[in-house]
Structure 1
Amino acid sequence: MKTQSLDRRSFLAATGTLGLAAFGALSSTAATQDSADRQFLVLQKYTIEKEEQKTALDAFFKDAAIPALNRLGIQPVGVFSDTKESSTIFVLLPHPTIESAIGLTSKLLNDKEFVAKGASVLDAPKSAPAYKEIEAWLMLAFKGMPKVELPAKGPNRIFQLRIYVRPSLHTGQKKIEMFNDAGELKLFREVGLTPVFFGET
């Protein structure tokens, strides 16, 4: 299991903690069966190299991206930075359907307000890129926690990102069952850990 501590940066509509459980590949069966009430979660990782990039991305998320996502019904959106290294920003996007996740980019680029307010990042030149790279993971929320949940607000909160790596398909499925059916999610809450989401890739 890998863990990573994150600071909250900005949030849409509300704020929350961040957790992640990732196991294997999301099959077409998993995406179509028993998923009507389960969100599809996209976790983006921005790698940045300069303070100016962080400043520009902060403004981009606050003024352009988050309001545009809100208009599309995608909320809450979380934006977090790594506490140990300021070169990483994570963005959590909860989608109601797989079609919402797949079609997001084209919808955003058809939003004139988003394009205008986000121009400095969207049209950044090669000589001054807005970031070094973006990575993204598509997940299906656990049936035991089908939607992103928001804990109570509070100052100076720390969010821990957990990534569970499976040694085999069966081991990964057993771990998911432990969260969904064997009480691990309940135990998290009982000991005061407030999860925001769990998803399988």
Structure 2
Amino acid sequence: MILRLILIANFFFFTSSYSQSEVFELRVYDMQFGTSTDVLHDFFEDALIPALNRQGIENVGAFEESGEALPKKIYLLIPYKNMQAYLDVADRLEDDDQFKSAAEAYRNTPPDKIPFERYESRFIRSSWGFPNLVKPADDLDQFELRIYESYNEDALRRKLKMFNEDEFEIFEDAGLRTVFFGKNISGDQMPSLTYMLAFKNREKHQEAWAKFGQHPDWQRISNLKEYTNTVSNITRVFLKSLPYSQL
């Protein structure tokens, strides 16, 4: 009887923890060279983000790459409670007259004037070690987006375990401020995980990374056999908030 109660308690703990995870949609827009981006920014600021907010979707992030990278890219981060919430939001947008009215200029833009060639949507499911998006302080308006690819699913499982059990605490000790983290469940560069860090200036951010590399717990876990060959490639992109971003 006692064992049964323990198993039931563990089951509810697991399902409760799982239900607290979030799903993030990360859109990456590839911009057309030499075309005004105003209609897209206006669509985000005046139509899409307010419509998402009306449906209870908060902390929508909008970013562009730091520096003068070409072709330009715009990043949109939308947090959902789960995949069903994403499907529900998409359906409700089609019935939102206020959204359709605000989006009219964008929807009626001629093909030769639309400012992007295409956009890609990646879906990321948060993990138990960092289940929810954390809005950074207002002065942390620069971001580092990192994608870790693994050579197979088991290598990714081990890297996720490494984060969940140890790395988040080391990040905190080193002064690295995580915004979101999760396993990629769709998109390219699979299998992989994605996370975002917020910082104030590049110099302090590099100092925090140096502290991370020297942290005794990192030195310990990075030498464990279990965690060898977990990452086969790293993509790193530096971003800055757009004026209407909620992050």
Residue 109 of structure 1 deviates from its aligned partner by 2.2
Residue 32 of structure 2 contacts residue 115 of structure 2 at CA under 8 Å; is this kept in 1?
no
Letter of the 2:133 partner, please give it: V
The farther-off stretch of 78-87 and 48-57 is: 48-57
Using the TM superposition, name which of 49-58 and 133-142 deviates more: 49-58
Aligned to 2:29: 46
Runs of 4+ in 1 over 6 A off after TM superposition: none
> What letter is aligned with 1:196?
V
Match among 158, 166, 180 for residue 174 of structure 1: 158
Within 2, Cα distance between the matches of 1:54 and 1:193?
Answer: 32
Q: How does 1:93-108 map to 2 (within 5 A)?
A: 93-108=78-93
Q: Do residues 59 (structure 1) and 42 (structure 2) align? A: yes
In structure 1, how many angstroms separate the alpha carbons of the residues matched to 2:49 and 2:33? 22
Give the aligned residue type for 2:151.
P
1:112 aligns with 2:97: yes
2:64 pairs with 1:81: yes
- d(CA) in 1 for partners of 2:136, 2:34: 30
Equivalent position of 2:195 in the other structure: none
Shift of 1:98: 1.1
Per-residue deviation, 1:50: 4.2
Cα distance between partner residues in 2 of 1:124 and 1:35: 42
Shift of 1:160: 0.3
In 2 relative to 1, CA 82–60 (structure 1 residues): closer, same or farther, beyond 3 Å? same
Stretches of structure 2 lacking an aligned partner (at least 5 in a row): 1-14, 185-247
Letter in 2 for 1:64: A
Equivalent in the alignment of 1:11: none
Of 144-153 and 33-42, more deviation after overlay is shown by 33-42
Structure 1: which 5+ residue stretches go unaligned? 1-31
CA distance in structure 2 between the aligned counterparts of 1:103 and 1:51, rounded to whole angstroms: 36
> Alpha-carbon deviations, 1:5-49, whole Å to 9, x = none?
xxxxxxxxxxxxxxxxxxxxxxxxxxx995311011111111111
Q: What is the distance in 2 between the residues matched to 1:89 and 1:122?
A: 18
Q: Which residue of 1 aligns with 2:202?
A: none
Residue 52 of structure 2 corresponds to which residue in structure 1?
Answer: 69
Q: Distance in 1 between matches of 2:85 and 2:36?
A: 28
Give, in whole Å, the separation in 2 of the partners of 1:35 and 1:53.
Answer: 43
Any idea what SS the aligned residue of 1:176 has? helix
Seq. identity, %: 29
- State the shift of 1:167 in Å: 0.8
Would you say the 8 A contact 1:124–1:130 is kept in 2?
Answer: no
- Secondary structure of 1:148's counterpart equals coil
Q: Partners in 2 of 1:149 and 1:51 — Cα distance?
A: 35
C-alpha deviation, 1:60, in angstroms: 1.4
Q: CA deviation at 1:53?
A: 4.0
Match of 2:145 in 1: 161
Give 3-state SS (helix, strand or coil) of 1:195's partner: strand
Determine the C-alpha separation between the residues in 1 that align with 2:61 and 2:92: 19
What is aligned with 2:180? 197
What is the CA-CA distance between 1:66 and the residue it aligns to?
0.9
How does 1:133-148 map onto structure 2 within 5 Å? 133-148=118-133
Distance 1:132 1:190 in 2: 42
SS state at 1:100 partner: helix
Larger radius of gyration between Structure 1 and Structure 2: 2
Change (3 A) 1:36 1:53: farther
Displacement of 1:108: 1.4
